[in-house]
Amino acid sequence: MSNVKLAIRVRPFSERELRSEKDRVPVVNVVDSNTVTITNIKVSISGAGDSRERIRQYYADYTFDSFCPVTHPSYASQEKVFETIGQEVISSVSRGCSACVLAYGQSATGKTHTMMGSDTQPGLVPRLCKALYELQPFDFTISFLEIYNERVHDLLSGEVPLPPCHSLPRRRGNARKDLRVREHPSRGPYVQ
């Protein structure tokens, strides 16, 4: 496994988007196993008088299409994401290497679903934990952190239980403790 791998997962329309009166035009499309396109629907098809690109291509090590119908051969289930990304992480960890899985994106783009999943369709984290547990007699340390609005929270602390398939509530009075990011002179950054 190389040092960094980039994966892009395209999610289906949300329930809210499906209920919306607006036209439901997919703007992100999986082209192949390494390419997605993003269409700027505000730029006309002719592009006349507009210097912006209408369609841009982005490349990644992996692309996962969860927008297409579940019955479609290219549909990316939670299991497919784990088999592709998770197995590489497990292989790396079993050789004694450190590993980090990072989900990044705007709110409501499917990060929590990909990472946590649901009771019937577990995400990457529960599947990784199960696979790591089966690696016995290895010892390992796991951290599960959320960075939101420049605040770091330990999702394994037990202070506020993590509901399945949902982010923790982000309102005033939330009992979660903010953690600090520090830098050790020789070991580098760490969370305190």
Residues in the annotated binding site: 105-112
Nearest to 5 by CA among 47, 34, 44, 27: 34
> b/e for 139-174, b at 16 or more Cβ within 10 A?
eeeeeeebeeeeebbbbeeeeeebeebeebeeeeee
> Would you list which residues are annotated within the binding site for ATP?
105-112
CA 7 – CA 5 distance, rounded (Å):
7
* Closest to 30 (Cα-Cα) out of 73, 1, 93, 71: 73
Query: What are the strands, taking DSSP E only, across 60-133?
Result: 62-65
Angle between helix 124-133 and helix 87-94 axes, rounded to 10 deg: 30
Distance CA 39, CA 32 (A): 16
